[in-house]
Structure 1
């Protein structure tokens, strides 16, 4: 039984071990440089202060149901961006809903986003974001490595190259006229060495979401099997020495692989298994808390309600770059946001209306009882930022339902930020916790780095030595086969002469 397992472990290690080594090496990069993406804060920072004149979206019916609506500036004019509500009658879920853009003054939809408008949007964004260079080339682009997630819902997509030292590139949607992605030369370089190999994310694979998902799932499953068999073989190969101690019978590179695998195999297994769980294979950790609770607190709303609230707002606070409709418990509120992300909330009559404890309790009255409700002023185990800060304070609600659902609601906007049911909490610990060692006691840097870097180095040693030894064994076997064939060819004339 041992020999077949050993052979399976050895030969799987050549291919899957190489992938796992790549995961480890790219993991060093991922510790410090993420996949390039336009963050909400960066998007806000690129907007111009809102100049809102009386207007209406003339082509929108008051009865039209929306899931989002916001007003912001685009190339010097205010525009209304709306996202239609999902159609509940459709048998196939709508995964992507395009943002519709309307000129605020005329109410007409913005149907033609030409290169000249793209240039002006990019100029405005670059100026507000302090990009150190003018707009250079503007060209329509196909899906590439940095737009594989967003290209379909924003096509046609335009790439803007800024003539700045950082090599900044922005991607502007030809549908909505808004900047949807931003990268720099630094991010692209390290993205190719970090996120792309770590997530098995080349465009040719990732553009087919279903295929990519299956590749990652099955590669991770085989990686788990490889690690488990390695632990089994490693324990079985331990030998008792003459002095009574137990150790490895191997020498050299084999000894390093054996000992590192025994001591760090569990860490290796936890990282591969938690990476597998990040794909939520077969819906093992499906969570409906966010969707259910968001629909309950911040559900769809009629455009007419949002329009009347905008009309009732007497004036905009200074420095506001976005005015957003955020429904709460059936009533539309307006949230004015400045470039720094500071939000101010107003009710339908235009009065300041920060979400109070009483208002939150009233909104939750018809659901499960509230077990606890408090204003959180510092991060907890579920509401925290891994590499970025989170908005504080925040209302934390724990419901007395069978899931012990946890809700985190922003008092400044009334928006549900996070929600966790039983599966959501399991995902937080089994995926985020194990894969990133994201535990409260370890989260503070530099202690996190001091622990993670040596662990990752030793797991890299396990995977790298195993791959190298498997390749070396393969080369020796191939050389042996070639030598046998060469000797057989050399003996054929002699055998013929003897005959």
Structure 2
């Protein structure tokens, strides 16, 4: 039966599948091998980023003495205003007005009440120097230049152009990038991060500037390469299973040498390879499959609609406060249509304030009032992480946190900060599926396995096995195609020789 089955798959469909698998393995197999090799680096170092706690640590302590003049917002700007922050820039209190996602917002000088002037190279140098000190950089600014974008700023360069790149003379050759729009430090790299970035995140995300600067093209390229990788892996699994079976010589595989190891590794690690490349595809949210949509509506209910007068009142309350200590920022904290203020310390600690500037945490009654329009099924204060609210990459989640499970058709979970009333996370059905497909399958991010070094001990050998599958497959595809090309060339030469032997070309007669 097994012999008959193996003979049956020698038909046209199987042969066509083998050819497609072989030729697809040249380009796509090579890309998948690069994804695997760069994945080893990504386990320990991601794309360089300046995190918000690091940026806060680089701010000056907030001082509002002798301040402030409230800006007169344009009606169009007031309508787009989604929040605000008050902090310091070059010794002056400023208002950063958020104008929605994808925008750098607008910056106002609270001494004059007018838009903040040009971000000069001198201002950028001062911002970069304070940021470098907060990061522990042992060096001084060496040079500054205005750039449009580079490899480490390509994903958010447009909203901050022109960019100032400040190079320091420390051993790590640190670069700190400052926005030419709002004077905010937003990125930093050094030699180590740049080298590991080129070995890890850039090839893993297909992130070279020439491709990533066109977001739509980059998105399509990654999606379709991942689709091709999923198809390549699935067909490889099928071919490998079909070829598996005991033969007269006692062997279970018809292959020898490198082909044998590719066959065996594919059978052992093929399913894992398939789940990894498919979950990698899902991280791109292809065609909006995991888009969700309930997140924004729920946040609007919890935050409520705020009006221009409310925003002006909150700004007036903010500038009337005289923060002391290590406060780096005052920010809007809207809850159920009312705007409160929250102070943010340079270590990231956030505290909601009442009208007199005293701490005013969000109590259980207020939380229940916020959530009442959503008809929650259960509300509880979590002191530990759960499956959908947890820290990643060594950063613990902010705890405690209020968790509400709604009585809707998706059993949506809402997580709210008890100090400020800020909505930390909304997890609907699509978000739960995304969590398991993207983080679970792609990063083996499961409870009990998440803690290191256990995660490393499991992931390293698995990734090594998947790399073996991809690398051997790509190499053999290249060798086989080179052989096919050589045979094709030889066949053409033989055909030409036969034609010449049957129809010899006439000899030229001597004159």
Q: Normalising TM by the smaller chain, what interval?
A: over 0.9
- Aligned-pair distance for 1:230? 0.6
* Greater gyration radius: 2
Matched, 1:68 2:77: no
Structure 2 counterpart of 1:260? 265
| Of 20, 34, 51, the match for 2:46 | 34
- Cα pair 1:238 1:246 within 8 Å, conserved: no
| Partner Cα separation in structure 2 for residue 348 and residue 300 of structure 1 | 20
SS of the residue aligned with 2:114? coil
How do 1:423-442 residues align onto structure 2 when only pairs under 5 Å count?
A: 423-442=430-449
| Of 119, 126, 138, the match for 1:132 | 138
| Partner Cα separation in structure 2 for residue 487 and residue 299 of structure 1 | 80
Matched, 1:59 2:72: yes
SS of the residue aligned with 1:384? coil
| Partner Cα separation in structure 2 for residue 300 and residue 68 of structure 1 | 12
- Aligned-pair distance for 1:79? 1.1
| Partner Cα separation in structure 1 for residue 134 and residue 475 of structure 2 | 51
- Cα pair 1:79 1:103 within 8 Å, conserved: yes
| Of 98, 104, 111, the match for 2:110 | 104
Structure 2 counterpart of 1:89? none
- Aligned-pair distance for 1:498? 11
SS of the residue aligned with 1:71? strand
| Partner Cα separation in structure 2 for residue 165 and residue 51 of structure 1 | 34
- Against the structure 1 CA distance between its residues 27 and 132, is the aligned structure 2 distance closer, same or farther, given a 3 Å change threshold? same
Structure 2 counterpart of 1:14? 26
How do 1:342-361 residues align onto structure 2 when only pairs under 5 Å count?
A: 342-361=349-368
| Partner Cα separation in structure 2 for residue 376 and residue 393 of structure 1 | 5
Structure 2 counterpart of 1:226? 232
Gaps of 5+ in 1: 87-94
- Aligned-pair distance for 1:351? 3.5
SS of the residue aligned with 1:150? coil
Could you give the per-residue CA deviations for residues 233-278 of structure 1, whole angstroms, max 9, x where no partner exists? Answer: 11111122348x7721211111111111111111011011101111
SS of the residue aligned with 2:238? helix
- Aligned-pair distance for 1:489? 6.6
- Cα pair 2:304 2:338 within 8 Å, conserved: no
Structure 2 counterpart of 1:336? 343
| Partner Cα separation in structure 2 for residue 64 and residue 16 of structure 1 | 49
- Cα pair 2:144 2:167 within 8 Å, conserved: yes
| Partner Cα separation in structure 2 for residue 293 and residue 248 of structure 1 | 56
| Partner Cα separation in structure 1 for residue 57 and residue 138 of structure 2 | 15
- Aligned-pair distance for 1:349? 4.6
Matched, 1:309 2:323: no
- Against the structure 1 CA distance between its residues 317 and 490, is the aligned structure 2 distance closer, same or farther, given a 3 Å change threshold? same
Query: Which shows bigger deviation, 268-277 or 62-71?
Result: 62-71
| Partner Cα separation in structure 2 for residue 380 and residue 238 of structure 1 | 42
| Partner Cα separation in structure 2 for residue 175 and residue 402 of structure 1 | 44
RMSD of aligned Cα (Å)? 2.1
SS of the residue aligned with 1:431? helix
| Of 142, 152, 163, the match for 1:157 | 163
Structure 1 counterpart of 2:178? 172
| Of 193, 197, 204, the match for 2:199 | 193
| Partner Cα separation in structure 2 for residue 121 and residue 57 of structure 1 | 24
Matched, 1:321 2:328: yes
Could you give the per-residue CA deviations for residues 29-88 of structure 1, whole angstroms, max 9, x where no partner exists? Answer: 11110001111111111111111123023333699342111111112221111113x5xx
- Aligned-pair distance for 1:169? 0.6
SS of the residue aligned with 1:404? coil
TM-score, length-scaled by structure 2: 0.91
| Partner Cα separation in structure 2 for residue 61 and residue 229 of structure 1 | 59
Structure 2 counterpart of 1:91? none
- Aligned-pair distance for 1:184? 1.5
- Aligned-pair distance for 1:391? 1.1
